[in-house]
A and B are shown apart, each in its own frame.
Chain A
């Protein structure tokens, strides 16, 4: 069964460093998303992407964040200068209708 995959599963970085989180959505899906979950809290929407552009973004998704679909399969989330409060689980999702989530990348900012 097709699934969303994410790499790496765990990323540790120093404050101020740039990180890129990678996702491979389900191949025939058209909509792509990033969500995050701070430990013990709700899953929060960051950004959605359709037709090679951002379709919607939340207040969390500020200038430090960017997304790209560099080729036909990958979908990336870049955080330019990480802060301690960026530590969270980051989930990628894709959809045609219902949204399927990847296993997440746990980002730890030290």
Chain B
């Protein structure tokens, strides 16, 4: 079945860039998402990219998609302590169920 893999932990210093990586198996995915989950909170949609795009930038966030390798990354520029959270990669086809990765816990060290 479809699967999404992410590394579990990432630690960065405040002000540095963070890069969170994700791989997925479903080559027919049309939407690839990044969600942020703060402790005890819900899933906040950060950004998403259509499968026909290579890159999407939104303020401090840059999403890169390599369809050939089925690799997605989220870069957070100038990482702040408020960025500490779990980041979930998810893939889907529009209005179909999303398949989530296990999440990457980002720790930002002041």
With an 8 Å Cβ cutoff, the count of chain B residues facing the other chain is: 22
With an 8 Å Cβ cutoff, the count of chain A residues facing the other chain is: 25
Q: A102 contacts B102, CB within 8 Å?
A: no
Residues of B within 8 A of A6 (CB): 42
Q: B97 contacts A98, CB within 8 Å?
A: no
Which of A13-21, A38-46, A73-81 faces chain B? Answer: A38-46
CB neighbors of A among B75-93 (8 A): 88, 90, 92
CB nearest to A46 among chain B residues: B97
From A50, A99, A103, give the contact of B98 (CB < 8 A): A99
From A58, A100, A101, A103, give the contact of B97 (CB < 8 A): A58
Q: B48 contacts A48, CB within 8 Å?
A: no
B24 at the A interface (CB under 8 A):
no
CB neighbors of B among A56-110 (8 A): 56, 58, 91, 95-104
- Shortest distance between the CB of B38 and any CB in chain A (Å): 10
Q: B42 contacts A98, CB within 8 Å?
A: no
- Shortest distance between the CB of B25 and any CB in chain A (Å): 14
Q: B96 contacts A41, CB within 8 Å?
A: no
Residues of A within 8 A of B44 (CB): 101
Q: A48 contacts B96, CB within 8 Å?
A: yes
Q: Once the chains are docked, how many angstroms separate the CA of A35 from the CA of B33?
A: 16
Known: A43-B43, A91-B42, A102-B42. A97 touches B94 (CB 8 A): yes
Footprint of A on B, CB under 8 Å? 31, 33, 35, 41-45, 48, 88, 90, 92, 94-103
CB-defined A-B contacts under 8 Å, sample of 28: A6-B42, A30-B95, A31-B95, A35-B98, A41-B102, A42-B100, A42-B101, A42-B103, A43-B43, A43-B88, A43-B100, A45-B97, A50-B95, A56-B96, A91-B43, A95-B95, A96-B95, A97-B94, A97-B95, A98-B31, A98-B45, A99-B92, A99-B95, A99-B98, A102-B42, A103-B41, A103-B42, A104-B41
Footprint of B on A, CB under 8 Å? 6, 30-31, 33, 35, 41-45, 48, 50, 56, 58, 91, 95-104
